[in-house]
Amino acid sequence: MDDRVGFMPWERGENAFDDERRGALIDRCGAQFAEGCYVAPGAKVFTRSLKMGAQSYIAAGALVRGDVAMGANCSVNPYACISGRVTMGDGVRVASLVTIVGFNHRFDDPDRAITGQGVTSEGIVIGDDVWIGANAVIVDGVTVGDHAVIGAGAVVTRDVPPYGVVAGNPARVLRDRRDPARRSAPESLSSALKAFSDRAAAEWPAVLAGNVAEVDGSPAYVDRQRGKPTSRAWADAIEIAAAFGGLPALRGRDELVTMLQGWQDAQTGLFPDPWTPGDGEARYGLLSRGYALECLGAKPLHVVHCIETLPADDLVEQLNALPWATRAWGGGAWIDAFGTGLYLNMKYFGARRGLETLLGWMAAHVDRATGLWGSATPDGGLLQPVNGFYRATRGTYAQFGIPLPLPEVTIDTVLRHARAYGNFRTTHITACNLLDIVHPLWLCLRQSDYRRGEIRDLMAALLADALGRWVGGEGLAFDPGRTPPGLQGTEMWLSIIYLMADILDLAGQVAWRPRGVHRLEPALVP
């Protein structure tokens, strides 16, 4: 009977843990026991400190050593091994033959024996209500979120999200226990989105009309927040109208096409801004003016020569020279423009040069640890590479319908960045910085269900906040609270709201669909 209880402690009686053995563990192992704990006679306990919450047990054959803390109602089953610094929440189930090791041997110096290099210990943290299947291994430094399930035989080398079900070697997330495909967004959020959509559909013409000024003796679209004419303002007006199935009121379709085509430089194929000169504006013109032409059912007049004639070696040299270490956003923006120029050349002029070189460089240079291109800033911030990821992938992987190289790693990084900024739930939030987390997550979820439930929860909170930002008859501000509503802010926020609604399966409530720069569909599958 003693053996039976030792190996199946759930059958123990109230007094199964005798006072003598309890006292010995307190004296020898630094143990602290809450009510109803049980350590089987055959368990091997050699801890510096051991804390066991109420109704927790350690079965016969288990090895527990180091500094171990267990919450209430935890079970360590026969022949499990727990070593080092390990902390468990409440309700953790550790199956037989599981290995949880909260330390690691140093082996940096190949000329010294590993036994002489010491150990490191980051510790392992396991949340509440976690089931760890037989023969699983969890290595030092891992955090396992609440309500997770670790499959039998899994080797867990990185953090497990709350509600994640993981398996394999190395372990990867298979799904979210909350089954996000079946969970609907709150009815209140759905109703709020429908009301916002109705208002935007009714007021977008007024938004465009409120961003008009006299320029060179005739009315032109300007962005209220910038207060000056730009060719981007015209493109934003066209894209907003196209999203709702309409046209801007100032000029007819043919006049708009003639104007946009007239802004393209015949020698380079770029679209310099007549009012704001500069290489950056000329490159961005490929996006804003090129896609605005597509919204009007038209196309550029000229091939983008500066892309079509660029040799492969020069392209690689230029990509290597981009400021990935200091300003990854700028690197991503350059790739976005280059990829868009490739797309326009391929679709309208039959050109093929450069795509394989560009995608090959990106595949070779993606950071395997983050899924991004470029480096964090010296303070550890990920704003630059995350923003750069959006721009780089929008113009390449998303534009050409090609799978991302590391979607799950990217999700981890983008969510870590979102947490660092308080999930952007602040009074100061720009459309750019929010789009640069929403679009990457939306794009990654088209390939993987990894952390989908967590992402949906984040999107629900962000969407609820965004729906309150519309200003009657004026639209949305790029930087709410700091700039007035304008065309750029309205176009970008409408795209962001659509993407969040799509992640939440609420896009059917929306009266518009992003067109142009922020369209959802791949433009061309090579």
Tens digits of residue pLDDT in 68-105: 999 999 999 999 999 999 999 999 999 999 999 999 99
Q: Which tokens sit at 392?
A: 């780089």
Looking at per-residue pLDDT, the higher value among 477 and 216 belongs to 477
Average pLDDT, the chain: 91
Spatial CB neighbours of 69, under 8 Å, sequence gap ≥ 6: 49, 50, 51, 86, 87, 88
DSSP string, 423-476: GG-SS---HHHHHHHHHHHHHHHTT--TTHHHHHHHHHHHHHHHTT--BTTTB-
pLDDT at 150 over 90: yes
pLDDT at 8: 86
Nearest CA to 282 among 295, 267, 294, 265? Answer: 265
Give the torsion sign (CA, 340, 343, 347, 353). Answer: positive
d(CA 417, CA 172): 21
Question: Cα 371 to chain center, whole Å?
Answer: 10
User: Which ranges in 127-278 belong to alpha helices (H)?
Assistant: 187-209, 231-243, 253-262
CB 221 within 8 A of CB 237: yes
Q: What pTM value is reported for the model?
A: 0.71
Mean pLDDT for the stretch of residues 119-142: 95
Geometric angle at alpha carbon 126, from 98 and 160, rounded to 5°: 90
**Structure letter (DSSP) for residue 132:** E
CB 282 within 8 A of CB 304: no
CB 291 within 8 A of CB 239: yes
127-143 burial, b for 16+ CB within 10 Å, e for fewer? bbbbbbbebbbbbbbbb
d(CA 345, CA 339): 10
pLDDT at 301: 96
CB 479 within 8 A of CB 437: no
Q: What is the dihedral of CA 439, 441, 444, 450, to 10 degrees?
A: -170
CB 431 within 8 A of CB 496: yes
pLDDT at 206: 96
In which element (H, E) is residue 119 found? strand 119-120
Confidence of residue 183 (pLDDT cuts 50, 70, 90): low
pLDDT at 4: 83
Which residue spans of the chain are classified as CATH 2.160.10.10? 2-176
The residue from 105, 147, 305, 417 that is catalytic is 105
Query: Which amino acid, 267?
Result: Q
Separation of first and last alpha carbons in the chain: 70
- Pick from 89-93, 237-241, 423-427, 515-519: least confident: 423-427
Looking at per-residue pLDDT, the higher value among 16 and 341 belongs to 341
Is 439 an active-site residue? no
Confidence of residue 307 (pLDDT cuts 50, 70, 90): very high
CB 251 within 8 A of CB 288: no
Mean pLDDT for the stretch of residues 307-326: 94
Mean pLDDT for the stretch of residues 497-520: 94
Nearest CA to 40 among 71, 70, 66, 75? Answer: 75
d(CA 365, CA 252): 45
CB 456 within 8 A of CB 504: yes
**CATH fold of 2-176:** UDP N-Acetylglucosamine Acyltransferase; domain 1 (2.160.10)
pLDDT at 79: 96
pLDDT at 228 over 90: no
Structure confidence by residue, pLDDT tens digits, 260-284: 999 999 999 999 998 887 777 888 9
